Amino acid sequence: MELNDLVARALQAVRERGAEARVVLLHPASRYRSMVVAQLMNLTGEPVFYYAMGPDDVDVRSFLSGITHDLANQHPTFGRHVNLAQSDPSLQLTDLLRAFVADIGDLSGEPFTLILDEYDRTDGADDIQWFVEQAILHAPAYCRIVINSRTLPRLPWISLIAQKKAVILRDEQLVTSNFYDMRESGGQMQLKMSALGPGYVYIDGEAISTWEGHLPRLLFFFALDRPVVTRSEICQAFWPDLENDQAVNVFHVTKRRLHKALDFDVLVHDGGYYRINPEVAIQHDVAEFVSALVRGRMPETEDKASAWQQAIDLYRGPFLQGHSDQWIVMRRAQYQQGYLEALSEMARIRLAEGRQEHALGLLLRAVGENDRYEPIHRQIMQLYADLGRRSEAAAHYQKLLDQLKQEGRTPEAATQALYAAIIT
């Protein structure tokens, strides 16, 4: 196949696979990623903005100075919110984030692409990694960010994919599993992690029970969250209230306890980062869960029911159930979102098969997991109505209405309209 055809296919994958995602990562192993970036910049019919990370992007403020300067040359009004915020040195990162998201929203009122090229130049800046992650989560839905990097960026790709916020492409191929290129078999040791639920670690099928407290175990799960992590990221997540020297000391004690429990140095320090020892074979239920979600979403998947059912089966409970650390609570909500998607999609399949009661059971199970997600309440109400059980549909709505009133809220307009249609 001609080179131009290969690049065209990779470009088409970006446009099609990334249509509903906030960020598309061009995997470092992609052969044509730089050519794809060049082709993206020449697209007609859709605005495209470009910023190449540079050696001066050592923290968020320098990154904002650089990107506002370059994008202002492409869109004259870009940066007015950020420049105003930058003028006040007392503002926090969250304030700068709001200003940056506002500027992104002003770039265009229609779908557009923002390319962040040479992203690996910012690998060492923890605050930039946090800032870009938050920008991905809060940018307008019509903004698609394309990241080109020589290394796998230090972002939580697995959780972003679970939320349908990200896709990873290796040229035209969608990455559907082993998102961090970890060893899956062989190696010096076989480890299995079960984080959907209370959180267990198994070595060669045997559960580890010799933890000295819960922190060593949680540290292991934290290290699986991203391709690599820094010591400062770990300390900020686990001991944000301690002075840096104290946090570092506690970290090293926790790491030693982790290695003692596993009788193996599972965390290795490499190039300033901590990562899972590449000699260890890893089986992680969260990664398998997200892989099943990806397959269920793919239009070409023939047996979608099998993919959605695998995701449902793998979700044995909320992420690291029983723990309330901020990073855990955040991930818990994000993986729960994927679980609700799987239940809802499986219910649609059962409805198409004429199995209404089975579909209703799946939807009620979803509400039992999270009763704040109104689209599922609407599905339940509609299904009750379709089954001729209008009184149960009305009762379900009244229960939702009472719950929302206690929180000072009202049902969404679509929920109210459905209720009105059912009772008339």
pLDDT digit string, tens, across residues 149-165: 999 999 999 999 999 99
Annotated domain spans of the chain: 3-174, 189-283, 303-423
For domain 3-174, is the CATH number 3.40.50? Answer: yes
Mean pLDDT by 10 residues, the chain (424 residues): 90 93 97 96 89 95 96 95 90 94 93 96 94 96 96 97 97 97 85 96 91 96 97 96 96 97 94 93 97 97 97 98 96 96 96 94 94 92 94 95 93 96 92
The CATH number of the domain covering residues in 189-283: 1.10.10.10
**Among candidates 162, 166, 120, which has minimal Cα distance to 145?**
166
pLDDT given for residue 323 in this prediction: 96
DSSP secondary structure of 27-68: -TT-SSHHHHHHHHHT-SSS-EEEEE--TT--SHHHHHHHHH
pLDDT given for residue 46 in this prediction: 86
**Among candidates 172, 180, 166, 176, which has minimal Cα distance to 32?**
172
Strands 143-148 and 267-270: unpaired
CB 222 within 8 A of CB 237: yes
**What's the gap between Cα 173 and its chain centre?**
19
Query: Greatest CA span in the chain, whole angstroms?
Result: 67
- The pTM is what? 0.94
CB 370 within 8 A of CB 336: yes
Instruction: Give the angle subtended at the CA of 277 by the CAs of 273 and 278, to the nearest 5°.
Output: 105
Close Cβ partners of 12 (under 8 Å, ≥ 6 residues apart): 172
SS3 label, residue 356: helix
What angle separates helix 413-423 from helix 390-406, to the nearest 10 degrees? 150
Please report, in angstroms and rounded to a whole number, the separation of the first and last CA atoms in the chain. 61
HSE of 414, CA atoms in CB hemisphere, 13 A:
9
pLDDT given for residue 189 in this prediction: 82
Annotation: CATH topology of 303-423? 1.25.40
CB 132 within 8 A of CB 125: no
**What's the gap between Cα 248 and its chain centre?**
28
